[in-house]
Amino acid sequence: MRYKGANVPKQPGTPHGFALGLKGLLQSDMTGHQTGKAAVIRIVVTGFNVTERNETVLSKVRAALAASVRLYRKSRDLLNKAAAESLPSPARKI
């Protein structure tokens, strides 16, 4: 499989393995991605411009923080399991 122009192993113990393990576990506004030697979960949120009014910016920041709390509260057990399964076999402890 090719990811961003590079050959990436399709096996546990890699960030790509973790990102693949997230598929189907995350909500529709969340996606898993390999980022170099790590993996991240991206959440779609509304951006803001520093020239916007404070009230507008604060509501957007609060919505973004609420989304991260939602990810943590609703998915922490699934994410911990996916992370553990992405480790090489000797390191797995569940």
Task: Report the phi/psi class of residue 24: left, alpha or beta, with left for phi > 0 and alpha for psi in -120 to 50.
Answer: left
- Tokens coding 68: 């991260």
The phi and psi torsions of 4 (rounded to 5 degrees) equal 50, 40
pTM score: 0.57
What pLDDT is recorded for position 57?
93
Residues of the chain scoring pLDDT < 70:
1-19, 21, 89-94
